[in-house]
């Protein structure tokens, strides 16, 4: 096994530990989070593919403050190590009008739907993504059919859901977005690293609200 694959396995294990901790927390009651656990437990082999890692991704991962909570800290450290070996994508490549947002927003698919984006592994029951957002960037309001769970892994950013206000959500906050619920994220002075999970309708598209 190569060093890159070792890093990737450590990242998947740290992600599974983070998700497992949330699943065991009765105060969170996250719908269908067990599908994410199952996907990582039953995952396929690591898929080979050329890594694509813009230098800004590593700079942002290095700049964000290490969370105090152990399982978040472990995940961020594993992500810093594995990031250069992953395929980071621009999910809004078809939106030239969103240049400012796209210059500061990156995603990678850890466990993907076999019918779509290149991912690190195939997720059998759920899709699992990592997103990195630069400081002072607005991810505009958007929605999708897939029900979504989000964890703020590192960075204090403002999150908005539906018609509600932007609210500061520190690391270890979980957000639940039911199908077609509009949501948006606004970073402040620090980057945001987040974990997103889709538990159904994983082949859907994301629509910006504009
Ligand atoms: Fe979403």
In order along its 210 residues, the chain shows pLDDT tens digits of 789 999 999 999 999 999 999 999 999 999 999 999 999 999 888 988 889 999 999 999 999 999 999 999 999 999 999 999 999 999 999 999 999 999 999 999 999 987 776 789 999 899 999 999 999 999 999 999 999 999 999 999 999 999 999 999 999 999 999 999 999 999 999 999 999 999 999 999 999 997
- pTM for the whole thing? 0.97
Terminal CA-CA length for the chain = 46
Alpha carbon of 143 to ligand 1 centroid (Å): 6
Alpha carbon of 55 to ligand 1 centroid (Å): 25
Please report, for the chain, the start and end positions of each structural domain, with discontinuous segments joined by +: 3-202
Classified by CATH at the fold level, domain 3-202 comes out as Jelly Rolls (2.60.120)
- Report d(CA 106, CA 99) in Å as an integer: 13
Closest CA to 129 of 158, 149, 145: 149
Alpha carbon of 42 to ligand 1 centroid (Å): 24
Alpha carbon of 1 to ligand 1 centroid (Å): 34
- Report d(CA 148, CA 105) in Å as an integer: 18
Alpha carbon of 3 to ligand 1 centroid (Å): 32
């Amino acid at each position: 096994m190569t060093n890159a694959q070792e890093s990737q396995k450590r990242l998947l294990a740290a992600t599974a530990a983070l998700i497992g901790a949330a699943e065991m927390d009765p105060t969170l009651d996250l719908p269908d989070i067990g599908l994410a656990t199952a996907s990582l437990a039953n995952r396929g082999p690591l898929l080979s593919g050329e890594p694509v890692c813009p230098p800004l991704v590593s700079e942002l991962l290095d700049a964000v403050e290490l969370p105090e909570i152990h399982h978040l800290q472990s995940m961020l450290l594993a992500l810093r190590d594995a990031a250069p070996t992953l395929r980071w994508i621009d999910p809004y490549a078809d939106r030239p009008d969103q240049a400012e947002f796209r210059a500061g927003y990156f995603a990678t698919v850890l466990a993907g739907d076999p019918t779509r984006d290149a991912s690190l592994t195939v997720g059998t029951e759920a899709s699992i993504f990592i997103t990195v957002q630069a400081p002072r960037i607005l991810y505009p309001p958007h929605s999708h059919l897939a029900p979504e769970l989000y964890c703020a892994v590192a960075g204090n950013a403002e999150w908005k859901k539906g018609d509600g206000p932007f609210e500061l959500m520190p690391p270890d906050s979980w957000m639940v977005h039911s199908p077609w619920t509009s949501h948006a994220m606004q970073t402040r002075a620090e980057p945001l690293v987040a974990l997103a999970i889709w538990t159904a309708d994983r082949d859907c598209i994301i629509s910006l609200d504009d």
